[in-house]
Structure formats: structure tokens, C-alpha cells
Amino acid sequence: MRLVLLTDLHFGRASPDLVDPLLASVAEADPDLVTIAGDFVQRANADQFRMARDFVDRLTHPWIAVPGNHDIPLYNLVGRALNPRRAYRKWIAQETAPVYETDAAVIIGLDTTHRWSHQRGLIRPRQIARVCETIREKGHDKQIVVMAHHPFHQSPDVEKKVMKHAARALREWADCGPHVILSGHLHQWTVEPFLAEKMRSMTLQVHCGTGLSTRLRGDPNEFAILDIEGDTFSACRMVADPDTKTYGARSQARYRRDADGWHALD
């Protein structure tokens, strides 16, 4: 199974010269599914969502998405309080926590946005339980992939606070933890396994940087091509060249999973 991971498109602060090249590169990758991990827009207004809608309408392959913190209002406090996902549901998708299943994998989308925890986000107890239930039912013969905008684990040098209740989620997932977690939010690239809790469960995390935003924070515009085949997983980093305005492969990481967790193959 092949996935493409896009995140942090940030229409309203997107580079217009990269939109067509990104769409072309995604189409060329020929994925079974495009996964979009939130932050479609910069400030959750109709004009920006209209651009985001045009983008997903031009995707040539099936896609699922979850919202990010920028997809709910920041300055419109009434809208944020009463119906924070209204514009997202109108323009992008009614379902904010989709599930997609194939013979190889189950992709579980989690909506980690919260009206009052605007930047940090949170995961709710029912979401944690939902992931555990899916793993127990299907994880014995399929890879379980969680997609959320906010990371569950990040390096100590990251200034942003880790998502609320992320530690609780990892504790409860320790015995049945998801095999792979896809996220964005940080605008940086990371592919590495980490131990969820006391050596009990190893999860492979994939943080992808922004596909289109001009706010690069030191990393380039990029997206990921992810291949799942049995117990193997590979992540190819596709980076935009600022001169040619094209996306090309910069690096690839390959892992195999066994009873002891994930092991690098390269």
C-alpha cells in the first residue's frame, strides 16, 4: 500500500508557485491514498478554505484528512466557542476523524483540535479507547496507522508544548500501541521509532514538514511518500527545489517490524 502524507498547506500563506508542482508530484507518486494531516489554511476564513477546496478537488487519488489548529478560528471568538469546525466541515469534509481500511493497513484519523487549546491541541479519552479497540481487532494482521495534526512525541529542543494528554495516550497504547503515527504541526521532518512506555511498545513516528507554506522554520517545503508492505515500512522525503519549483526525493528511511519493535533496514 502506498500513502502520500501532506500537512500544513496553509492556504493564505502558501507559495502559489508550488501548488501545481505539488499536485503533479502527488499524482506521479500514484498513491492508494493521500493523507492530509491538517492546517489546510492560515486563518480559517472562507477565501482561504476556497483555495484549499480547489486543491483537494484537483487531487487525482482518494484522500482523507483531519483538521489542524489553524483550521479553526483564532480571532473569531464566537465562532471558536460555538462551532469551531463549521468552516472546515463546509469546505473540506464533514468527517473530522475518518477511517480507511485496506488489506494491508488501517488508517485512523484523529481530530486533535480544541477550541480553547488552540495551538497545543489535545486527544480525548474516547479517541484513545477507539485506537486501542481497532488495534485489538485488526492489529494482528494489519499495520495500524494513526494520523493526527499534533504530534504525540517530540524532541526536547522543540519549543512548542506537546499535545495535552499525549502522554496518557501513549501509556494506554503501550500494550497495543499503533504501529505508525503520522503528524505535522512542527514544520519539520522526523522519521524515527520511539518507545511508548517502559520498553513495552515501539511506535514509528513520521513528522512531515509543510507542503506549501512560506513559514518554513528552517526546513524546506516537502511531503512524504510512504510504502507499507507486510511488516515493512518506508518513508521517502520529497523536497521542493526553490529554484526549479519541483519536488524530488531527498532521503528514504526503511524499517521492519517484529516482536521487538521497529528496526532500521538502511
CATH class of the domain whose range is 2-264: alpha beta
Report residue 69: phi and psi, to 5°.
Answer: -65, -30
Which of 56-65, 111-120, 200-209, 250-259 holds the top average pLDDT?
A: 56-65
Name the percent of the chain lying above pLDDT 70: 97
CA distance 164 to 13: 27
CA 226 to chain CA centroid, nearest Å:
12
**Which residue, 227, 233, 224, 220, is CA-closest to 261?**
233
Query: With contact defined as beta carbons under 8 Å apart, do 19 and 49 qualify?
Result: no
- Are 53 and 19 contacting, i.e. CB atoms less than 8 angstroms apart? no
Reported as a single tens digit per residue, the pLDDT across 53-78 is 999 999 999 999 999 999 999 777 77
Task: Locate the domains of the chain by residue range.
Answer: 2-264
pLDDT in tens, 6-43: 999 999 999 999 999 999 999 999 999 999 999 999 99
User: What pLDDT band is residue 176 in, cutting at 50, 70 and 90?
Assistant: confident
Average pLDDT over residues 48-52: 99
- Answer left, alpha or beta for residue 218, where phi above 0 means left and psi between -120 and 50 means alpha: left
pLDDT tops 70 at residue 207 = yes
pLDDT of residue 98: 98
Among candidate residues 157, 160, 156, the one with its CA nearest the CA of residue 184: 160
Cβ-count burial of 248 within 10 angstroms (0-12 exposed, 13-18 middle, 19+ buried)?
exposed
**Average pLDDT of the chain to the nearest whole number:** 93
| Mean of pLDDT values over 174-198 | 83
